[in-house]
Amino acid sequence: PVGEEFFHFAWCSVDDPPVLSNILTVVFCTRSKLWFSVVQWVGLLVAVNGFKDEISQFRVFFSPWQVVDMLALHLPPEKLFPQLTPLMEPALLSANPYHRKAGLMCLAVLAEGCGDHIRKKHLQPMLQVVCRALSDDSQVVRNAALFALGQFSENLQPDIARYSDEIMPLLLRYLAGVEQAHTSHLAKAYYALENFVENLEDKISPYLPGLMERMLFTLNSPGNPRAKELVVSALGAIARAARGTFRPYFQAVIDHLTGYLLTKREDLRPVQVQSVETLAILASTMDRDVFLPLAEKCCQLGLDLCDQVDDPDLRRCTYSLFSSLSIVMEDSIAPYLPRITTLMLCSLRSTEGIEHHCSAGSSFLLFDDEEEEAEVEGDESLSEDEEDDDDLEFMGLTVQNTFMDEKEDACLSLGEIAHNSSVAFLPFMDCCFQEVFKLLECFHIGIRKSTFCCLGQFCIALHRVCERDPSEPNSAALQKMLSVVLPAYITGIREEKDRQVVMDILDTLTKVVKACKQEAFREPGRLADLCRVIRLALEKKTACQENCLEEDEEGEDEAEYDIMLIEFAGEVIPALAQAVGGEAFAPYFAGFLPLLINKMKPTCGISEKSFAVGIIAETVQGLGRASSPFVPRLLPLMMKASHDRDTEVRSNAIFGLGVLAEHGGEVTYEHYPKLLGLLSNLIIHERHSRVADNVCGAVARMVMANPGGVPVGQVLPALLRALPLTEDLEEYKTVFRCLSFTYERDPQQVLQLIGDIVQTSGIVLATDEIPSAARDTLITLLRNLSIRCPEEFQSTMLSLPSESQALLEIALSSS
């Protein structure tokens, strides 16, 4: 009966967003089973949205996919998917294009809240559905498919990038078929392209020439300014992925961007704004030697634009440009800082765009159906810039988002500039800190997030100043700032009601602790205070977790979004251990351990187990020798987790076994035979590259921790055969340290493997992503071997392919 009453009340409230939002909040924030009725109600809304005639008569203000988004954020995917699938499948197979669109939109919005679940269990079939829909006869369906692909690209990384060879040709063909005059259709195609491309990294290489040919052709041709704006935006995404391989196109792109930056044409204003944003991306992604000659000119251009054009969007993008330029210019940006900080402080103080009002709610639609219908029928009377009302209504205020975005970007950029310009920013630190700190109480969520991030960057920047100039005034200034910022973080974590803000606080807190280390804990009681609030987050007792859906009495599944906050809280723990040292942190770790172990139970989800195992392993690394008392409790748990079906859990457990062996001391020695048996079996049979890479790291740690307990003559050849590493390249540092350690301790063990080492080095040195510390260790070892056994070294090197020989020669001759 309660479910029926909800169903009736929700349907009657569908055109009253505030009322409906409150109804849904009650459902998600209580233990009631009414969410099942919500799913049924979504099914009815999907059906209503499936009829073109009904949409024109009855406007559904609270779209069904917005409700699906809320369901995905608040419910465990294991419970949600079985209920939604029977609704989506008929819609996706329907003859009605608006039914198919509704099904695709539901798929799209599931990606944010159920990303892990989709990546592990449903990615391939869901991608196949979306890719097929890109060829649908209906433009409405194709638009929805593009949106879904864009959402997948944002939320299902890195797994979705593996399908680049299937998706990129589809997107390029689709883009080629869209007429430049149909700018709204073009925008949806570019939305999907941008989101997918920017995370491809080296997978973009085969498509880069074709992509750039299309982009530059559009810029060189006369045409609609909107099409050029979309291309300029896409260039930023392409540059992010391509990085160094973008260099051949850099000058041509800069020439176009400079032209738009200098234009006086009002119709090209959006292109000008986007050009500033893309220029900022180029400054932060291209090699420093490429962009540095242009940096001062770009800085002056940005300042001139702010003086000439009163546009919050333009100022926002210009602030991002200054932030990126500070990466390139570092403290040489000093002459421009007075004008830059003055502009940003004006933006922070401004109340422009905020008006008092008394009014009702607004609608929410991801794609406006009326606009889509007009475009499908060839009616271009609707402006392609016409969108749903963007106003945010809160506590009697109407807020124009462009001005809020300007404040948000001003905060973020000030923090970045302070961090990158270091000592040069010191004269502006105090006034900027005061203005930013005032915004902690701002009603706008985005501004609160950026404020917490900026304050953390200020702390890190001041710590860098202290490292360069360790004077008493600088140290006192840092302690004063930390004494204000860290309590604000503690209060924010405990009392802030928005989960995303709290996640950003926790993320920034981790960065501050890692950067400032013991300097952050000079004040008595600060470590205890931080540990106390982190424990609150792990126990789901903070203000933003009060309204989380409580665990089902029959199980322990949690929504992924709830788990995310706990993961951010967990990341602080190893950072604290590393900062204060093992002896000081061990008692606090003992308090956290039951909470973490509780998430390793068989009934817990994969994400929880992976998180708990990973945090324990990283914390053991930070504890160092102080981890020894925890070995008897942790070793059996890690051994068990190393047999888990999930690759990530297994990988984290193997890493954990390695660091326990490395730091656990003599108490681990009795377990070496069992550990070696497990790892030797895995090093031969493990097929998942990340797990195999961590096996190599674990074996290397065991050798260095207790060489007498390891048959080094058998282990080292097996270790070399397992190279090169393919995924967790950080473990190269451990493997090469192990080889160097063994060479110093027992040179003959390494000299008899000189041929294998030289051959493997030729392959490893060809990898750009190898950590610099690992490369240095390897090169030092190779030099020693070439001096100790020059003939054997030279003969082995000459047997290698010419490319490997060249790499080895360069490495040996480098300083």
Q: What is the pLDDT of the chain when averaged over all its residues?
A: 84
Return the minimum-mean-pLDDT range out of 50-54, 284-288, 625-629, 681-685: 50-54
Single pTM value for the model: 0.84
In angstroms, the CA 398 to CA 629 distance is: 58
CA distance 383 to 504: 37
Determine the 3-state secondary structure of 753 from DSSP. coil
Share of the chain above pLDDT 90, in %: 56
**407 touches 348 (CB < 8 A):** yes
d(Cα 726, Cα 705) in Å, to the nearest integer?
A: 25
Q: Most confidently modeled of 92-106, 301-315, 358-372, 394-408?
A: 301-315
| 555 in Cβ contact with 616 (< 8 Å) | no
**Lowest-confidence segment of 236-240, 467-471, 702-706 by average pLDDT:** 467-471
Quick check: 479 pLDDT over 70? yes
Residue 742: the pLDDT is 94
pLDDT in tens, 368-388: 344 444 333 333 333 333 333
Q: What pLDDT is recorded for position 396?
A: 44
pLDDT in tens, 439-477: 998 888 999 999 999 999 999 999 999 999 889 999 999
CA 511, CA 505: separation in Å to the nearest integer? 10
C-alpha to C-alpha distance for 546 and 496, rounded to whole angstroms = 11
Cβ neighbours around 430 below 10 Å, total? 11
Mean pLDDT throughout 517-530?
A: 94
pLDDT at res. 552? 40
Adjacent-strand bridge partners of 398: 355, 393
Q: Which pLDDT band, with edges at 50, 70 and 90, does 88 fall under?
A: confident
Cis peptide before 587 (omega within 30 of 0): no
Closest CA to 566 of 545, 549, 552: 545
pLDDT (0 to 100) of residue 605: 82
The pLDDT confidence band at residue 33, using thresholds 50, 70 and 90, is low
User: Across 39-53, 73-87, 139-153, 316-330, which has the greatest mean pLDDT?
Assistant: 316-330
What percent of the chain shows pLDDT beyond 70? 84
Q: Got the DSSP string for 128-168? A: HHHHHHTT-S-HHHHHHHHHHHHHHHHHSTTGGGGGHHHHH
Helix runs in 350-444, H state only: 369-376, 401-421, 426-438
Per-residue pLDDT for 94 more than 80?
yes
| Residue environment code for 782-804, b if the CB has 16+ CB neighbours within 10 A, otherwise e | bebbbeebeeebeebbeebeeeb
Question: b vs e for 268-287, b when ≥16 Cβ sit within 10 Å of the residue's Cβ?
Answer: bbbbbbbbbbbbbbbbbbbe
> What Å distances lie between residue 142 and 60, 122, 491, CA to CA?
21, 21, 47
Reply yes or no on whether the pLDDT at 515 is more than 90.
yes
CA separation for the pair 288, 295 (Å, rounded)? 10
Of 15-19, 298-302, 802-806, which range is least confident? Answer: 15-19
Identify which has the larger pLDDT, 83 or 98. 98
Report how far Cα 10 is from the mean position of its chain's Cα atoms. 36
What pLDDT is recorded for position 354?
A: 65
CB of 742 closer than 8 Å to CB of 707:
yes
pLDDT at 15 over 60: no
For residue 232, give Cα distances in angstroms to 110, 216, 256: 30, 9, 9
* Mean of pLDDT values over 66-86: 76
In this predicted model, what pLDDT tens digit does every residue of 252-261 receive, in sequence order?
A: 999 999 999 9
Instruction: Please tell me the distance from the alpha carbon of residue 15 to that of residue 32, in angstroms, as a whole number.
Output: 24
Q: Is pLDDT larger for residue 653 or for residue 17?
A: 653
pLDDT digits (tens, 9 = 90+) for 347-364: 999 887 666 544 444 333
Q: What is the CA radius of gyration of the chain?
A: 29
CB-CB contact of 440 with 451 (8 Å): yes
pLDDT at 815: 60
Please give the structure tokens belonging to residue 731.
Answer: 């473990």
Q: How confident is the model at residue 32 (pLDDT cuts 50, 70, 90)?
A: very low
Distance CA 360, CA 210 (A): 49
Work out the average pLDDT over 44-71: 51
CA distances from 166 to 136, 162, 171, 723 (A): 17, 9, 9, 30
pLDDT over threshold 70, residue 554: no
Say yes or no to pLDDT of 655 above 80: yes
Query: How many of the other CB atoms lie within 10 Å of CB of 198?
Result: 21
Cis peptide before 724 (omega within 30 of 0): yes
pLDDT at 534 over 60: yes
Digit-coded pLDDT (tens) for 107-166: 888 888 888 888 888 889 999 999 999 989 988 899 999 999 999 998 888 889 989 999
Phi and psi dihedrals of 364, rounded to 5?
Answer: -135, 115
Counting Cα atoms < 13 Å in the Cβ hemisphere of 492 gives 31
pLDDT at residue 389, rounded to an integer: 36
Gap between the Cα atoms of 138 and 506, Å rounded? 45
Pair 260, 217: CB distance under 8 Å: no
Hey, which of 3-17, 55-69, 105-119, 437-451 has the most confident mean pLDDT?
A: 437-451
Residue 598 DSSP label = G
Query: For every residue of 193-243, which 3-state class applies, written as one string?
Result: HHHHHCCCHHHHHHHHHHHHHHHHHHHHCCCCHHHHHHHHHHHHHHHHHHH
